[in-house]
Amino acid sequence: MSKYGVMSTFCASLITHLQLNRRSAFYVNLDPAAETFEHQPDLDIKDLISLEDVMDEMKLGPNGGLIYCFEFLMENLDFLTEALDSLTEEYLVIIDMPGQIELYTHIPILPTLVRFLTQPGALDMRLCAAYLLEATFVIDRAKYFAGTLSAMSAMILLEVPHINILSKMDLVKGQVRNKDFKRFITPDVSLLEDDPADKKRRQPTTTDSESQYTDPMGTGAMMSGASFKRLNTAVAGLIESFSMVSYLKLDCTDEDSVASILSYIDDCIQFHEAQEPREIKDDGEEPAEEE
Ligand SMILES: Nc1nc2c(ncn2[C@@H]2O[C@H](COP(=O)(O)OP(=O)(O)OP(=O)(O)O)[C@@H](O)[C@H]2O)c(=O)[nH]1
Ligand SMILES: [Mg+2]
């Protein structure tokens, strides 16, 4: 996440799609660094606290500042309750989160927030977490498995229905054939057998600095070494044995692709089951909505 982040593209596409399909959306921005919005948030954490102010006043870096903002939010949960309490089942509440992975993997803030949002008798929201991994990660298997391990960690930590998405599919269109891409939908160890990035790492080019390979602690030496390969095999084996992660593909520029992801989200939160039955006119048609 950059200090001057923008509204996450997936959320923007989802809201556009909901609007085109006359569905009610309520957009909550919980990224305290996001400044540019394609759709204005209905609720913005920056009205409570902004990362820029925290970094200036508390002399914190972007990561520490982000954690501070979320700790502050946890102490001021009325900010969320007041806005969300009156929304009916018709609304899809889209909560845009910051992209910093630390927030999802090893601190308990988000599990606490999730428990608060889902608590029966209070907000009682049905949540679906959507974890996005950029499709370009498949080009380097080590990165793909590291990203997948983070997805699994988030699934275990958050304990809500969860979908994993390979986003920005357009960026790999020329590089990975559709047939080959299918292998990345369900991660398994065999993907490590033909890793082009690993082959490249093992063939240092003349432009690579010599020290990178002569220094056993250098990045190049470590990432082309046997222990790095063993580590990746162990990580991939762990992911395969848990069998929790599989991916959906997303191209935000393609309306059908966004619609397909939305239908998975709807299933996870049982959106359609929760709707009030609509009044049916005598001729069997639903009454036209008033403009
Ligand atoms: N080519 C391409 N670029 C994209 C796509 N989606 C987003 N981007 C670009 O990627 C950059 C980052 O956007 P996002 O990934 O949506 O994330 P963000 O909200 O800025 O960052 P985080 O909140 O930190 O994840 C922006 O410059 C977007 O224009 C896509 O599907 N294809
Ligand atoms: Mg974002």
3-state secondary structure 38-104: CCCCCEEHHHCCCHHHHHHHHCCCHHHHHHHHHHHHHHCCHHHHHHHCCCCCCCEEEEECCCCCHHH
pTM of the model: 0.87
- pLDDT tens column, 188-197: 999 998 777 7
Residue 109 identity (one-letter amino acid): I
Here the tokens at position 290 are: 């008033």
Ligand 1 neighbour 98 (Cβ under 6 A): yes
Domain ranges of the chain: 9-189+243-274
Average pLDDT over residues 136-160: 94
Q: What percent of the chain has pLDDT over 70?
A: 85
Ligand 1 atom with minimal separation from the 6 CA = 20
Q: Which ligand 1 atom is nearest residue 168's CA?
A: 31
CA 104 centroid distance within chain: 10
Residue 221, token pair as written in the block: 């030496």
More confident site: 210 or 252: 252
Given ligand 1 and candidates 9, 27, 250, 252, which is best to mutate, with the most ligand atoms within 8 Å of its CB? 9
Judge whether 31 and 1 are in contact, CB under 8 Å: yes
For 1-60, write each residue's pLDDT tens digit. 333 456 699 999 999 999 999 999 999 999 999 999 999 999 999 999 999 999 999 999
- Closest ligand by atom to 171 CA: 1
Segment holding 254, helix H or strand E: none
Could you give the CA distance from residue 275 to residue 154 in angstroms, rounded to a whole number?
29
pLDDT in tens, 193-238: 877 777 777 666 555 555 555 666 677 666 777 888 899 999 999 9
Q: How far is the CA of 98 from the centre of ligand 2 (A)?
A: 5
* CATH ID of 9-189+243-274, from 3.40.50.300, 1.20.1260.10, 3.40.50.880, 3.40.1390.30: 3.40.50.300
Residues with CB under 5 A from ligand 2 (ion): 8
Looking at residue 206, its pLDDT comes to 52
